[in-house]
Amino acid sequence: MSVEVALPGLGARARGDRLQGLGFLTITAVCWGLNWPVVKILLQQLPPFSMRLGCSIVGVTFAFALAAARGERLGVPRGQWRSLIIAALLNFGAFSILSTLALVLLRASEAVIITYTMPIWSALVAWPMLGERPTVKRLAALALGLAGVALIVGADSASASWTKLPGVLCGFGAAWVFALGTLFSKRHPLAMPPVAGVAWQVLVGALPVCVLAWFETPNWGGVTLLGWSAASYIAIVPMTVAYLAWFRALKLLPAAIASTGVLLSPITGVIASALMLGEPLGARQLAALAMTLTGVVLAART
Task: Examine the pLDDT at 55 and tell me if it is beyond 80.
Answer: yes
Confidence of residue 7 (pLDDT cuts 50, 70, 90): very low
Q: pLDDT of 86-101, one tens digit each?
A: 999 998 999 999 999 9
* Mean pLDDT on 242-264: 73
Asked whether the beta carbons of 234 and 55 are under 8 A apart, the reply is yes
Distance CA 161, CA 98 (A): 19
Task: Examine the pLDDT at 150 and tell me if it is beyond 80.
Answer: no
Residue 267 lies in a domain: no
* Number of separate domains in the chain: 1
Confidence of residue 161 (pLDDT cuts 50, 70, 90): low
Residue 169 lies in a domain: yes
Angle at 73 between CA 70 and CA 76, to 5 degrees: 140
Is 77 in a helix, a strand, or coil? coil
Residue 140 lies in a domain: no
Residue 129 lies in a domain: yes
* Mean pLDDT on 11-28: 77
Q: Which domain holds residue 249?
A: 38-133+158-254
Residue 294 lies in a domain: no
Q: Which of 128, 170, 131, 124 is nearest to 145 (CA)?
A: 124
User: How many CB atoms sit inside 10 A of residue 232's CB?
Assistant: 15
Distance CA 142, CA 102 (A): 20
* Mean pLDDT on 10-19: 68
Q: How far is CA 207 from CA 79, 133, 177, 241, 248, in A?
A: 21, 35, 17, 22, 28
Q: Where are the alpha helices (DSSP H) in 44-117?
A: 48-69, 81-88, 95-105, 108-115
The predicted structure's pLDDT at residue 124: 66
According to DSSP, residue 134 is labeled: -
Residue 195 lies in a domain: yes
User: How many CB atoms sit inside 10 A of residue 69's CB?
Assistant: 9
For 200, residues 6+ apart whose C-beta sits below 8 A from its C-beta are: 76, 84, 88, 192
Task: Examine the pLDDT at 61 and tell me if it is beyond 90.
Answer: yes
Q: Which residue type occupies 82? A: R
According to DSSP, residue 92 is labeled: I
Task: Examine the pLDDT at 154 and tell me if it is beyond 70.
Answer: no
- Which H, E and C letters describe 212-277, residue by residue? HHCCCCCCHHHCCHHHHHHHHHHHHHHHHHHHHHHHHHHHHCCHHHHHHHCCHHHHHHHHHHHHHH
Q: pLDDT of 70-126, one tens digit each?
A: 999 999 998 899 999 999 999 899 999 999 999 999 999 889 888 888 767 766 666
Residue 270 lies in a domain: no
Task: Examine the pLDDT at 240 and tell me if it is beyond 70.
Answer: yes
Residue 278 lies in a domain: no
